[in-house]
Amino acid sequence: MPLWKCQVCGFVYEGPQPPDKCPKCGAPKEQFKQLSDQEAQLVLRSRKTNYLHMKALTLLRELLAVAEEIIQDNLDPPCVKIANEEKEFALTTIQKIMAELETHMKKGKWG
């Protein structure tokens, strides 16, 4: 199925023809450009990678919440030490993923 990109806002639409107007910004059909096979493959690959990054973010936020709970429970110093390491890892990795996703958006690799 062809991919069409709105030249006004960057919305990517999948279908045999572009929509009559952009669902995001309302631009007319004439503002859509069909992506080449190479461009479409990049969008599809980017969607997969971005989805996986978003899934990782969800898991890291869950790890952060669990680590906080362990820290609050304060059962013993070794448990708290591990939880603090988990918390630091999660926070740092979340920031790195967010920076990577921002780079993807700036390069038009979001789709």
- Going by pLDDT thresholds of 50, 70 and 90, the confidence category of residue 100 is very high
**Same domain? 82 vs 102:** yes
Distance CA(66)–CA(50), nearest Å, equals 24
- In 3D space, the residue among 91, 44, 45, 101 whose CA is nearest the CA of residue 71 turns out to be 91
pLDDT per residue as tens digits for the range 31-88: 999 999 999 998 898 889 999 999 999 999 999 999 999 999 999 999 999 999 999 9
**pLDDT for 110 beyond 90:** no
Flag whether pLDDT at 111 surpasses 80. no
Asked if 15 and 54 sit in the same domain, the reply is no
Q: What is the spatial distance between Cα 106 and Cα 28, in angstroms, rounded to a whole number?
A: 24
Tell me the Cα Rg of the chain.
Answer: 20
Q: For residue range 2-39, what is the model confidence (pLDDT) as tens digits? A: 999 999 998 999 999 999 999 999 999 999 999 999 99
The domain in which residue 3 lies consists of 1-35
In this structure, the answer to whether residues 111 and 71 fall within a common structural domain is: yes
pTM comes to: 0.75
